[in-house]
Amino acid sequence: MKRIAILAVAFALVLAACNGNSDATTTVPSGTDDTPPPAAMGDLLQTVIDRGSVICGVNEAVPGFGYTDADGNFSGFDIDYCRAVAAAVFGDAEAVTYRALTAQQRFTALQSGEIDVLIRNTTFTASRDGREGATFLTTTFYDGQGMMVRSDSGITSIDDMANLSVCVLSGTTTELNLAARFGDTPFTPLTFDNNDQLQAAFVAGQCDGWTSDKSQLAGVRTNFPESEGGPEALTILDETFSKEPLGPVVADGDSQWAQVVNWVVLATIQGEEWGLTSANVKDYDGDNNEIRRFLGLEVTTDEGTAVFDPGLGLPTDFAVQVISQVGNYGEIFDRNVGPSTPLGLQRGFNAQWTDGGLLYAPPYR
């Protein structure tokens, strides 16, 4: 009995300590006297430069986005954005340390400073922005949630799926959308914390449907074992039942680092708009001052010639490094998930604004 009492007191003390200032947090804005100031501007950028590599939190199980091959090499759309950040900061796209994270681990890793940036098909939502201490940057991939079923199941719509079972990765927005989409319709959700065990359950027929972002489904579909019929055995239903804007995430409190990562993404988008590719960006010698500013080339103005520096904390030629080493948005898309890859995704919403898509980079001036 004594032991129980001691443990109870100890436990209550921790809870009390944790709860003690809960009112203060809602009323006291951060930065006042009794709260420690947020990390000083530029701390993380300097830390990253001193360290010599960017620590990037990624996925390892979604072909096309973040995937490790048998030799442990990372590749994919998200991985290329990690490389782009390294190219911008160091001029070396290989200066990246990858941390493979599960969906559940990712925000904790970001909050604790274990990673510098999270690029792991992470959906931008209000509560994640607010409650997870995360800053979401420019969306790199506009996705939506879909449902994948066996081609021979006869299911043509999610409305056919009452009382069936659906496999979903736990700790994801897809889990919430799934519950909302089914509403009062009874179904059995089976939550797994890794894609491999989920696939085993799906192959065994334990779940009738597999729900996730459509791009992810396309990725795992290409990887579906031939012994089970290969990609043809699976159908992704037409319905898209959520908005899933995916993009890089950094921790709150360091706006300079957020700017750096943000403008790396914007540079790939701007580069494509101007037709700058990894093949031609280094040879640009035109007289378009907008492009010359963007590439850190000398610009002639009334006061003479100068190199434009927007003050982001990046080298003035970072866009050249990003595009020459990693590519513009279109190149990154086509290389990893585009029509010529096994995933075979079309640009859709992920086209330039000039082509009716959602990609739109603010002016670089």
Partner 1 sequence: MTGTEISTGTRSPLWRNVRVIRVALQVMAVVVVFGAIWILGTNLRDELIAKNLPTGFDFLNQPTGVTIADSSFKPSSPVWAALIAGMKNTFALTIVGIPLVTILGTLIGVARLSTNWLVAKAAAVYVETIRNIPPLLIILFVFNVVILPLPAPNDPATPLDWFVISNLKIVGPGFTSSPGAGILLIIVILALVAAVIVGRWRTRYSDQTGEHHHRMLWGLGVFAAIVLVGYVVTGRPVAFSLPVLEGRVITGGFGGLGSYFAVLAALVIYTASHVAEIIRGSILAVPRGQTEAANAIALTGFQRLRFVILPQAFRFALPPMINQYLNFTKNTSLAIAIGFAEITLVTFQLIGNGFPAPQLILLLMGAYLLFTLTISLIANVINRRLQLVTNR
Residues that bind partner 1 (CB under 8 A): 4, 7, 9-11, 13-25, 30, 35-36, 38, 103-104, 107-108, 111, 125, 127-128, 131-133, 153, 163-165, 170-173, 175-176, 178-180, 182, 186-193, 197-198, 200-201, 204-208, 251-253
C-beta of 73 vs 188, nearer to partner 1 = 188
Report the residue number, 205 or 362, with the smaller CB distance to partner 1. 205
What is the DSSP secondary-structure string of 216-228? Answer: HHHHHHHTS-GGG
Closest approach, Cβ 105 to partner 1, in A, equals: 9
The strand pair at 234-236 and 145-150 is best described as antiparallel
The stretches of the chain forming alpha helices (DSSP H) are 2-19, 22-27, 43-51, 77-90, 106-111, 126-131, 173-182, 195-203, 214-222, 255-273, 289-295, 318-325, 329-336
Q: CA torsion angle for 81, 244, 334, 362 (degrees, to 10)?
A: -60
* HSE, side-chain direction, 13 A CA sphere, residue 210: 30
> With respect to partner 1, which residue has the nearer C-beta, 201 or 299?
201
Within 13 Å of residue 115, how many CA atoms lie on the same side as its CB? Answer: 24
Give me Rg for the CA atoms of the chain: 23
Between 257 and 274, name the residue whose CB sits nearer to partner 1: 257
Do the bridges between strand 209-213 and strand 298-301 make them parallel or antiparallel, or are there none, so unpaired?
A: unpaired
Which residue number, 120 or 292, has a Cβ lying nearer to partner 1? Answer: 120
Least distance (Å) from partner 1 to the CB of residue 60? 17
- Minimum gap (Å) between residue 210 Cβ and partner 1: 13
User: Least distance from C-beta 31 to partner 1, angstroms?
Assistant: 10
Give least dist CB 260 to partner 1, A: 20
Which residue, chain included where needed, has tokens 């031609």? 280
Nearest distance from C-beta of residue 263 to partner 1, angstroms = 23
Residue with tokens 């799934």: 178
Q: Which is nearer to partner 1, 36 or 72 (CB)?
A: 36
| Residue corresponding to tokens 């069936």 | 164
Q: Which is nearer to partner 1, 192 or 284 (CB)?
A: 192
The percent of the chain in helix, strand and coil, each rounded to the nearest 5, is: 40, 20, 40
Other beta carbons within 10 Å of 364: 16
User: Cβ 299 to partner 1, closest distance in Å?
Assistant: 40
Smallest distance from partner 1 to CB 346, Å:
30
CB of 156 to partner 1, least distance (A): 16
CA distance 287 to 290: 9
Q: Which is nearer to partner 1, 162 or 307 (CB)?
A: 162
Query: Which tokens hold the place of 39?
Result: 């990390």
Nearer CB in complex with partner 1: 137/326: 137
Q: Which tokens go with 350?
A: 């992920």
Asked whether the beta carbons of 115 and 53 are under 8 A apart, the reply is no
